[in-house]
Structure 1
Amino acid sequence: MQDGVVGPLRYGDVQVVVARGVVPVMALGTVGGMLHPRGGARVAAIGPALLGVLLCVLPALGQVDA
């Protein structure tokens, strides 16, 4: 990183796959699991926690330059 310009991303493709594929599937799975009659409380605790982890992973992937 020189002069405030970030080089090409090393994990840019992974970041796009996570943002477009994994996040929506996890969000829908969390909502669906919370509505399920058995195990809904466990999913209600774990699902948002995993989405929070993804919220931290996506910017971290964007900070790693080539």
Structure 2
Amino acid sequence: MDAIIKVKDGSSITVKNLRVIKRISTNDSSITEENNFENFVLYNSPYIFVGSDIASIDGNNIEYVFFYQD
């Protein structure tokens, strides 16, 4: 699975071979890992997208995430 992260400033980030998305809680700094991308929900929290590349971005800056098979 690959992902394109569309950033609100108009740029985009591509993560190939996405394995997991980590969300860091702003309340207690706990980390939630999501690998079922069909159920992905975007919150206003920091995210780390882990695949062949690693991208870290705050949820407030993400417009949308597009998942696809290459």
- TM category (shorter chain) comes to under 0.3
Say which one has the larger Rg. Answer: 1
TM-score normalised by L of structure 1: 0.26
Which structure's residues are more often strand, by fraction?
A: 2
Which gives a bigger RCO, structure 1 or 2 (Cα 8 Å, sep 6+)? 1
TM-score normalised by L of structure 2: 0.25
